[in-house]
Amino acid sequence: MENIISSIKERLQVPRNLAIAAAIGGLILGLAIGYLFPIPWTDASAENLRPDLRIEYLRNAITTYTLTGDRLKAVQSYEELGKQAESTLIELTANPGFLNSEQIQRYTTAINIPLSPSEPAQTIPSPVQDGQTEGEAKEGNFPVWLGLVLLGVLLVGAYLAWRYFVKDRGFSFKDFGSMVSKDKGERTMAQSAPPAAVRRTESQVATPDPVIRVVRENKPAAQRVSLFANGETNGNGNGKASNINGNGEKPVAQFMSTYLFGDDRYDESFIFDAPNGAFLGECGISISDLIGVGEPKKISAFDVWLFDKNDIQTVTKVIMSRHAFNEPNIKSRLEIRGEPILAEPGKLFRLETATLRMEGRIVDVSYGDLPLPEDSYFQRNTIELAVYRK
């Protein structure tokens, strides 16, 4: 629970997320207040009464006119019914109650509305159900229209949340659930050792133990931080890699991610924090482009992205298969997402934001052999990432 609250607070630090959350919260609060504390009506006209009460009101008005003969008062009471006056009079004629036809005739004559006593009053046909008045039908439709309007608002809010919160940030609900399941003790240990990737597949990747390695040579950072990059051992000769590189830089976090053909939901994201537990950002790898049809999906490109909480945008680079990289139309289409990188074993690349630098290395690449263009989709792809603070 503590991890959930902490993660929500960290995400709400982004103004865009805060605005979306405030809009949704305001809508829910407004609906709750309107439902629990409805606005009472006072001094309303007879037009706003229920249909049965309007008929009772007009019946009493006719009775008063019969006793007093006040024509001005009769006209005034009839006009109080507004647009509902004519329909109410017709309904009263069909159901006079304790009135007789002579009293109704005198009243209609006084207000200059002719109504023949020899002809029975007929109700105006309306597209309402049996036993339901026109006013009740209109009132019954109001919740339907209100529900449609609220549904539209919720759909718009859901789209904005998906567009700005999930899609652009590479947010993964499965990874988020796995992160919440960790207790506080595991989180503390993760700050002192390279965290392992949250995998969708059953394969597991061993995490190097955090020990100090004797410096031998000055290598690129993506090779220095990883056992998989150079296969070197530390100064104790125990075959364990160090998380401190030859230039004295220590990565904030480092991850290893492997895609295997058939993992159609491949989408990994990694949250990393500062040593004091403060949220710094996220990085991840997701499917960018496909080739061919049917399942399993034939993936021809991956997005590698880096999000910095102190930056306004997410930086992305596209790892392409050899076919996609050499095909001008595909390459130009994917260049819109980020800088294209040809997938080759040992290939190094870098992503930078305002306060972070992420160095990556393509560890392993293999292509499938289905009847598609040669080297067009990945059979296996392993990428290693190391994140540093500037």
3-class SS string, 254-291 = EEEEEEECCCCCCEEEEEEECCCCCEEEEEEEEEEEEC
Q: Got the DSSP string for 169-186?
A: TT--HHHHHHHHHS-HHH
Q: Single out the residue of 219, 264, 261 nearest to residue 244, CA to CA.
A: 219
| Domain assignments of the chain as residue spans, ordered by start | 2-40+140-167, 46-124, 177-389
Angle (CA) 328 333 336, round 5°: 125
Weakest mean pLDDT among 239-253, 257-271, 315-329, 330-344:
239-253
Weakest mean pLDDT among 231-245, 314-328, 351-365:
231-245
Angle (CA) 229 269 220, round 5°: 25
Q: How far is Cα of residue 193 from the mean position of the Cα atoms in its chain?
A: 33
Cα dist. 244→123, 232, 287 in Å?
Answer: 89, 13, 31
The pTM of this model reads 0.41
For residues 31-51, average pLDDT:
75
Put the strands of the sheet holding 267-273 in their side by side order: 267-273, 279-290, 299-308, 315-320, 339-342
Q: Single out the residue of 188, 208, 184 nearest to residue 196, CA to CA.
A: 208
Higher-confidence residue of 231 and 269: namely: 269
Q: Is the pLDDT of residue 335 over 70?
A: yes
Q: Is the pLDDT of residue 244 over 80?
A: no
For residues 103-128, average pLDDT:
60
Read off the pLDDT band of 150 (50, 70, 90).
confident
Angstrom distance (rounded) from CA 214 to CA 240: 11
pLDDT of residue 231: 40
Contacts 24+ apart (CB under 8 A), 128-137: 133/51, 133/91, 134/51, 134/87, 135/50, 135/51, 135/54, 135/84, 136/51
Question: Count of alpha carbons within 13 Å of 143, Cβ hemisphere only?
Answer: 4
Higher-confidence residue of 139 and 331: namely: 331
Q: How much of the chain exceeds pLDDT 70, in percent?
A: 68
| Type of residue numbered 102 | E
Residue 282's DSSP bridge partners are 271, 307
**Would residue 288 be called left, alpha or beta, if left means φ above 0 and alpha means ψ between -120 and 50 degrees?**
alpha
Please tell me which of 82-91, 238-247, 283-292 the model is most confident about, judged by mean pLDDT. Answer: 283-292
Backbone Cα Rg of the chain = 37
Q: Estimate the crossing angle of helix 134-161 against helix 15-36, to 10 degrees.
A: 160
pLDDT of residue 53: 86
